[in-house]
A and B are shown apart, each in its own frame.
Chain A
Amino acid sequence: MLLLHRKKMSLSVSHLTKVFGQQRAVDDITFSIEKGEIVGFLGPNGAGKSTTMKMATGYLPATAGSIQVNGLDVTTHSIQVRKMMGYLPEHNPLYLDMYVHEYLHFIGKVFEIPGSKLKSRVAEIIELCGLTPEQNKKIEALSKGYRQRVGLAQALIHNPEVLILDEPTTGLDPNQILEIRKLINQISSDKTVIFSTHIMQEVQAICDRVIVINKGEIVADDSVNNLLAAQGQSDVVVEFEGEVNSEDLATLEGVEKVTVIKSGIFRLKAKNGADLRAEVFKFASERKLSLIGLRKEENTLEDIFRSLTVKETVT
């Protein structure tokens, strides 16, 4: 049963630790990713995201612990693992003096795509990544967004089962970010994708699951919705015309705490994430108060991220 369970895992990391001199960059982290999952690897800068990814690709050795890709150990079956994996390193290094075509051809050869198929595969991947208008240019002549596409194209050329993307959208403008995200969504239907970022919206837009890492440790590992539900509180901000006693508001059912923001404006914190708006509206109509603002404020992933990572630093 255990074996069966293991087989389904595309990537499993157990008790992974990396020590650089005195610093524990990654500290005993354990997680596993099922086939077909898209996982966001979230954390502030220097949290150990890139280090973990470098170890997963076999570029850096782990100080302790192990990583398995489709049941194969990264250190002992390095070459086989690399064949199954597409990797886009941080900062997207490229051979700038090569032509887009030439570069993808070279990477295809490295992955031993047979010569007969290589040409059509390169054409296909150029099409998929939207590089058609730029395919005959030198990489150094491309804009950052297109370079990123070339980076993705080289990671995808051998149709890998596991895709590791290290900050694929950093440094792009908002339009380009949307395009790259769309591309990731498009290609990830049948792949296991793990990508790191420190941008929250990205995780909400693409991922099924999010792993939050801070100071080399996992502080949260859950589906995006669960995380929002578990950590998220919905506050209601109400605005009345005229004076209202805050203690009256506190007596309402489901209200945990009332904070006065300004005179007439209150923030009501709900117990157990209940929706207070109906109660507040009833309260206002009973007392003939004019309600001029009623707004629900949900905690975003961003708040959760901040609370998870900052809490760690304080304690």
Chain B
Amino acid sequence: MIQVFVKEFNSFLNSLIAYIVIGAFLTGIGLLTWVFPETSVLDYGFADLDTLFSMAPYVFIFLIPAITMKSFAEEKKMGTLELLLTKPLSDWSVVLGKFLATWALVFLALVPTVIYYFSVYKLGNPVGNVDSAGVMGSYIGLALLAMIFSAFGLFASSLTSNQIVSFILAAFLCFLIYMGFDSLSSFGGNAALFIKQLGIIYHYESLSKGLVDSRDVIYFLSVTGFILLTTKVVISSRQW
């Protein structure tokens, strides 16, 4: 697993992918948080980072599928998947190695935004008047959300050898689980809360209040685990 992780992560760094992902994410989020008047923290006048945490998931919906779209699709097309899977690597270690590499890259893009926190911290009046627990919780939420998106991206990539199909499918799945369930819940009647809880927003918002509830963490972990299992099954399905 380590070998696959290192190889995948290096291939992000050696190609332009890593720099484009980090650059695009930071530019987009930076503009939204500090420059554009509708969403700028400076114009808003309150020392919080809501803009960052409410916009980042939407950026991830497009960014993460773009990172993962080639992971299995390209290997299938080039035939290198056969090479990889006839080496002494279990199917799990291939899936997990690729998953962790994707997640690590997203993490790397997220790390520089810690500067935003310090900026807001200094801008507060009095200095340091920021809901630090909320920010911390939001970061955890965002990292967990990226985890689910990465898993969905890999899953979509494992289904096809066409990268465009993989991208669109992954973006759709991420959108569905992030917003879809939340929006659908209004039709839900008695089951509304249950439907709401299937989606990410419910748990993400709960984390962003600064309270790390084990139920929310378990939700993120179990959804990720399930999607990764499905991906592994798809990869192993050649054996049927």
What residues make up the interface of A, taking CB atoms closer than 8 Å to B?
Answer: 54, 57-61, 79-80, 82-83, 85, 87, 89, 91, 93-98, 102, 106-107, 109-112, 154
Q: Kindly state the separation between the CA atoms of A205 and B43 in the bound complex, as whole angstroms.
A: 80
Do A87 and B78 have beta carbons less than 8 Å apart?
no
Inter-chain pairs besides A82-B87, A93-B79, A94-B78, 8 sampled, C-beta below 8 Å = A54-B82, A58-B86, A60-B238, A91-B79, A95-B78, A106-B3, A110-B88, A112-B88
| Known A-B contacts A93-B80, A102-B10; A59 and B85 likewise in contact (beta carbons under 8 Å) | yes
21 residue pairs from A and B, CB less than 8 Å apart: A57-B86, A59-B86, A60-B239, A79-B90, A83-B88, A89-B79, A93-B79, A93-B80, A93-B83, A94-B80, A95-B11, A95-B78, A95-B80, A96-B78, A97-B11, A97-B14, A106-B6, A106-B7, A109-B3, A110-B88, A111-B87
Name which of B11, B15, B86, B87 has the most chain A CB atoms within 10 A of its CB: B86
Residue of A nearest to B239 (CB): A61
Do B88 and A79 have beta carbons less than 8 Å apart?
yes
A-B interface, 7 closest residue pairs, ranked by CB to CB distance from nearest: A93-B79, A82-B88, A109-B3, A57-B86, A93-B80, A83-B88, A110-B87
A112 CB contacts on chain B under 8 angstroms: 88
Interface size on B, residues (CB 8 A): 21
A58 CB contacts on chain B under 8 angstroms: 86
Do A110 and B78 have beta carbons less than 8 Å apart?
no
Residue of A nearest to B81 (CB): A93
A95 CB contacts on chain B under 8 angstroms: 11, 78, 80
Do A82 and B86 have beta carbons less than 8 Å apart?
yes
Do A59 and B78 have beta carbons less than 8 Å apart?
no
State the Cβ distance, A188 to closest chain B Cβ, in Å: 20
Do A110 and B3 have beta carbons less than 8 Å apart?
yes
A82 CB contacts on chain B under 8 angstroms: 86-88
User: Is B184 interfacial (CB 8 A cutoff)?
Assistant: no
State the Cβ distance, B62 to closest chain A Cβ, in Å: 23
A61 CB contacts on chain B under 8 angstroms: 239-240
Name which of B14, B78, B82, B83 has the most chain A CB atoms within 10 A of its CB: B83
Residue of A nearest to B80 (CB): A93
B3 CB contacts on chain A under 8 angstroms: 106, 109-110
The contact of A59 among B7, B82, B90, by CB within 8 Å, is: B82
| Known A-B contacts A93-B78, A97-B14; A59 and B238 likewise in contact (beta carbons under 8 Å) | yes
B80 CB contacts on chain A under 8 angstroms: 93-95
Do B86 and A110 have beta carbons less than 8 Å apart?
no
Do A98 and B82 have beta carbons less than 8 Å apart?
no
Do A93 and B88 have beta carbons less than 8 Å apart?
no
B15 CB contacts on chain A under 8 angstroms: 97
Do B83 and A89 have beta carbons less than 8 Å apart?
yes
State the Cβ distance, A133 to closest chain B Cβ, in Å: 22
Q: Kindly state the separation between the CA atoms of A111 and B239 in the bound complex, as whole angstroms.
A: 22
| Known A-B contacts A91-B79, A93-B78, A95-B80; A107 and B87 likewise in contact (beta carbons under 8 Å) | yes
State the Cβ distance, B92 to closest chain A Cβ, in Å: 11
Q: Kindly state the separation between the CA atoms of A123 and B3 in the bound complex, as whole angstroms.
A: 19
Do B11 and A87 have beta carbons less than 8 Å apart?
no
Which residues 4-23 of B have a CB within 8 angstroms of A?
A: 6-7, 10-11, 14-15
A107 CB contacts on chain B under 8 angstroms: 87
Residue of A nearest to B84 (CB): A110
A80 CB contacts on chain B under 8 angstroms: 88
